[in-house]
Amino acid sequence: MTNAEIIATDPGWITLVKGLLIFVVCVLATLMSVWGERRLVARMQQRMGPNRVGPFGLIQALADGVKLALKEDLIPKAADRIVFVIAPIISATTCFMAFAVIPLSGPVNLFGQETVMQMTDIPVGVLYIFAIASIGVYGIVLAGWSSGSTYPLLGGLRSSAQVISYEIAMGLSLVAVFIYAGSMSTAEIVSAQDQWWFCVTLFPSFVIFAISMVGETNRAPFDLAEAEGELVGGFHTEYSSLKFALFFLAEYVNIVAVSALATTLFLGGYRALPGLGFTESWLGGWFTVIWFLAKVVFFFFIFVWLRGTLPRLRYDQFMKFGWKVLIPFSLIWILIVSTLRVLSQQGAPRSVLIGFSFGIVLLVLAGSSLFESSKKRRAQEDELGEVAVPSFPVPAIPGKINKNRTEQLNG
Amino acid sequence: MDNPLTPRSNDLGLTAAAKANTPIESQEAKTFAKQLQGFWVTFKTIFKKPNTVQYPEEREPTAERFHGRHQLNRYDDGLEKCIGCELCAWACPADAILVEGETNTDDERYSPGERYGKVYQINYLRCVFCGLCIEACPTRALTMTNEYELADESRAKLIFEKEDLLAPLKSGMLQPPHPMVPGTTHIDYYRGDITGGSNG
């Protein structure tokens, strides 16, 4: 039985219970991940991190949440009141919705009912997640726009531009997954990975997805939307109290959501590590949830690791990377993958497949060496060429006497 | 140079300065592997012992000559060293010190010699802990302790009066006012010849 068939037999109350469970797990995951991130990033910087509230500081995030809820809720005079209130609600609700189609476990027994920990399984599950993520962008744009202030507006525009451009790369990286799984349903993508996980067979797709999911969630090193040094707090500068808490919640739920998506699409979802398949039946199948969570935590660790290691990108570099590197690269990769897929499906001999792959590798090598040599030539030209002196006053270049400048200074 | 902070190295740090000023030849890291080294650094650091001192529970001693709260010292018989000259107040760049001197009498003697500091206030909202007052003091009456916990909840509490700043009485010291040790003059005090209260 496929997941969709199992879910179809669920009585209504089981769906309600599952919805509640997923919601609770998401909120708990947020609280734990805020704590975990702060502890981990602190250790990377040889600090301790929060360790005051509760054992090991475990309920620090909860304490922060309570504090936020008790704060004064300000709405700026220049703000568009209605949109200003709606924006965080959009952000916070959409981020939860992605979890409806993510299979958290294999077949389990929930209150005497045989089911899977997945709210619903639709044939276009992954597209649904993308649609929801795009609606989530509205929360950010509207928050920035309705604040009636410059920094939030800039932050909101930045982050919407960022999310939209990285969503393209993300979507393109998934095409290869769809081609190989033959489905867009999350449950079927997971079951298509029973032999090899897609992170191995479709490694380039996995890399593109992993990079673009950091951009998609506005996380360091791609956290330009809330670049503290430039934009104060970005789109949520004017927000306070519970509304701010909602954005905060949305950010972390989003991280968990894309980690869960990456787990489902590339790391075999709730399935055990290769060779440990027997663990999937432990605890009446509930052990698969642990596998799933372990993989999500792995991705979360990567997120924190990136944040602890890399400096923030400049905005133009970031956009250049998204549009000029990630998107063309994934387009070419899709071409290659689909050609290989069609060839193998039409029963082309193995030699043709190998020849094709070899040709691709040769082409890539030739292209990169051409690129290198042209770069070298350009560098040489730069060294030879004189820099034209602009008509406006410029600071002197060290080691070079700027005649124009001295003339200007002397009248 | 192995330690850039070493003072008085042979070349006065000129090589380091020259090195810092040489133009960067390539903005790009040499190889991709080099860029990945940063990830190893942060990963390695996770397993290092944190530098954090859990402050209120754990305390580490300050540097020996840390500039902390001031102290008004006494001679060994308990008489105050401060002569109310106001040099500390004049030296203070932040105008944090207020001194009002008064004349000692034989009935009411707080310090050897002619004058003593009747009012002595240091405003810790202004003090920058530069230590110029300590340099200015002619009798070593004013020194600094290593105490740094000077936070409080009101402005008034942060203006320290003379009784807050005076060094505590050690054994053998007498609470002034009291006369000088019999048979001595203020000159003996200034020379450091007084080694304990003996006048009971």
pLDDT in tens, A333-383: 898 888 888 888 888 788 888 888 888 888 888 988 888 888 888 777 766
Mean pLDDT of A223-228: 69
Name every chain B residue with its beta carbon within 8 A of the beta carbon of A310. Answer: 38
Which residues of A sit within 8 Å Cβ distance of B? Answer: 40, 42-48, 305, 308-310, 398-399
**Which of B41, B42, B44 would you mutate first to test chain A, the one with the most A CBs within 10 A?**
B42
Burial class (CB in 10 A: 0-12, 13-18, 19+), A330: buried
pLDDT of residue A79: 87
Does residue B85 lie in a domain region?
yes
How many CA atoms does the CB half-sphere of A94 hold within 13 Å? 22
Mean pLDDT of B84-110: 93
| Separation of alpha carbons A86 and A48, rounded Å | 37
| CB spacing of B45 vs A46 below 8 angstroms | yes
A50 Cα distance to chain centroid: 26
pLDDT of residue B9: 47
Burial class (CB in 10 A: 0-12, 13-18, 19+), A366: exposed
Name every chain B residue with its beta carbon within 8 A of the beta carbon of A309. Answer: 38-39, 41-42
pLDDT confidence band for B28 (50 / 70 / 90): low
| CB spacing of B50 vs A43 below 8 angstroms | yes
Reply yes or no on whether the pLDDT at B192 is more than 60.
Answer: yes
Residue of B nearest to A383 (CA): B25
| CB spacing of B42 vs A308 below 8 angstroms | yes
Give me A388's structure tokens: 């034209």
Number of structural domains, chain B? 1
The alpha-carbon gap from B66 to the nearest alpha carbon of chain A, in Å, equals: 25
| Separation of alpha carbons B69 and B67, rounded Å | 7
pLDDT confidence band for B11 (50 / 70 / 90): low
Coil/strand/helix, residue A256: helix
- Confirm if B133 and B67 have CB atoms less than 8 A apart: no
- Confirm if A162 and A225 have CB atoms less than 8 A apart: yes
Residue A244's CB is within 10 A of a number of other CB atoms, namely: 19
Per the model's pLDDT, the better-predicted residue between A9 and A292 turns out to be A292
pLDDT confidence band for B22 (50 / 70 / 90): low
pLDDT of residue A290: 87
Q: Which of A309, A398, A399 sits opposite B39 (nearest CB)?
A: A309
**C-alpha distance from residue A231 to each of A131, A145, A318 (Å):** 28, 14, 16
Judged by CB atoms within 8 Å, which residues 50-69 of B form the interface with A? Answer: 50-52, 54
Residue of A nearest to B49 (CA): A46
pLDDT of residue B164: 92
pLDDT of residue A31: 85
The winner for highest mean pLDDT among A144-148, A181-185, B95-99, B170-174 is B95-99
Beta-carbon contacts of residue A208 (< 8 Å; ≥ 6 apart)? A169, A170, A172, A173, A326, A329, A330, A333
The alpha-carbon gap from A258 to the nearest alpha carbon of chain B, in Å, equals: 22
The alpha-carbon gap from A308 to the nearest alpha carbon of chain B, in Å, equals: 7
Q: Per-residue DSSP letters for chain B?
A: ---TT-TT-TTTTHHHHHHHHSPPS-SS-S-HHHHHHHHHHHHHHHTSPP----TTTS-----TT---SEEE-B-TTS-B------HHHHH-TT--EEEEEEE--SSS-SSSSSEEEEEEEEETTT-----HHHHH-TTS-EEE-S------SSTGGGEE-HHHHBPPPPTT--PSS-PPPTT--HHHHHHT---S----
The alpha-carbon gap from B62 to the nearest alpha carbon of chain A, in Å, equals: 20
| CB spacing of B42 vs A305 below 8 angstroms | yes
Q: Which of B23, B38, B51 sits opposite A309 (nearest CB)?
A: B38
pLDDT confidence band for B36 (50 / 70 / 90): confident
pLDDT in tens, B40-68: 888 998 898 888 888 888 888 999 999 99
Reply yes or no on whether the pLDDT at B105 is more than 60.
Answer: yes
A243 Cα distance to chain centroid: 23
Quick check: B200 contacting A, CB < 8 Å?
no
Quick check: B48 contacting A, CB < 8 Å?
yes
Beta-carbon contacts of residue A195 (< 8 Å; ≥ 6 apart)? none
Instruction: Point out which residues pair with B101 in neighbouring strands.
Output: B117
Does residue B148 lie in a domain region?
yes
The alpha-carbon gap from B49 to the nearest alpha carbon of chain A, in Å, equals: 7
Does residue B160 lie in a domain region?
yes
pLDDT confidence band for A2 (50 / 70 / 90): confident
| Separation of alpha carbons A348 and A182, rounded Å | 19
The alpha-carbon gap from A47 to the nearest alpha carbon of chain B, in Å, equals: 5
Quick check: B24 contacting A, CB < 8 Å?
no
Quick check: B45 contacting A, CB < 8 Å?
yes
The alpha-carbon gap from A395 to the nearest alpha carbon of chain B, in Å, equals: 17
Give me A196's structure tokens: 């090899």
Mean pLDDT of B141-152: 92
Coil/strand/helix, residue A394: coil
pLDDT of residue B4: 52
pLDDT in tens, A145-184: 998 888 888 888 888 888 888 888 888 888 888 988 888 8
Does residue B17 lie in a domain region?
no
pTM for the full model?
0.75
Per the model's pLDDT, the better-predicted residue between B80 and A115 turns out to be B80
Give me A301's structure tokens: 């660790």
* Least confident span in A273-277, A302-306, A383-387: A383-387
B173 Cα distance to chain centroid: 24
Give the structural domain span for B145. Answer: 70-191
Does residue B89 lie in a domain region?
yes
Beta-carbon contacts of residue A97 (< 8 Å; ≥ 6 apart)? A132
* Least confident span in A75-79, A392-396, B96-100: A392-396
Residue A117's CB is within 10 A of a number of other CB atoms, namely: 23
Alpha-carbon Rg for chain A, nearest whole angstrom, is: 25
Does residue B10 lie in a domain region?
no
Give me A390's structure tokens: 């602009």
Size of interface A-B (CB pairs under 8 A): 33
Residue of B nearest to A41 (CA): B46
Map out the domains of chain A as residue ranges. Answer: 3-333
Percent of chain A with pLDDT over 70: 92
| Separation of alpha carbons B158 and A304, rounded Å | 43
Closest to B79 in 3D by CA, of B171, B172, B175: B175
| CB spacing of B50 vs A48 below 8 angstroms | yes
**Domain CATH for B179:** 3.30.70.3270
| Separation of alpha carbons B131 and B150, rounded Å | 16
The alpha-carbon gap from A346 to the nearest alpha carbon of chain B, in Å, equals: 39
Mean pLDDT of B181-187: 88
pLDDT of residue B158: 94
Quick check: B27 contacting A, CB < 8 Å?
no
Residue of B nearest to A43 (CA): B46
Closest to A314 in 3D by CA, of A404, A190, A230: A230
Q: Which of B21, B39, B52 sits opposite A47 (nearest CB)?
A: B52
- Work out the mean pLDDT of chain A and round it to a whole number: 83
**Which of A44, A298, A303 would you mutate first to test chain B, the one with the most B CBs within 10 A?**
A44
| CB spacing of A46 vs B39 below 8 angstroms | no
Quick check: B154 contacting A, CB < 8 Å?
no
pLDDT of residue A57: 84
Mean pLDDT of A66-78: 89
pLDDT of residue A215: 83
| CB spacing of A46 vs B48 below 8 angstroms | yes
Per the model's pLDDT, the better-predicted residue between B12 and A113 turns out to be A113
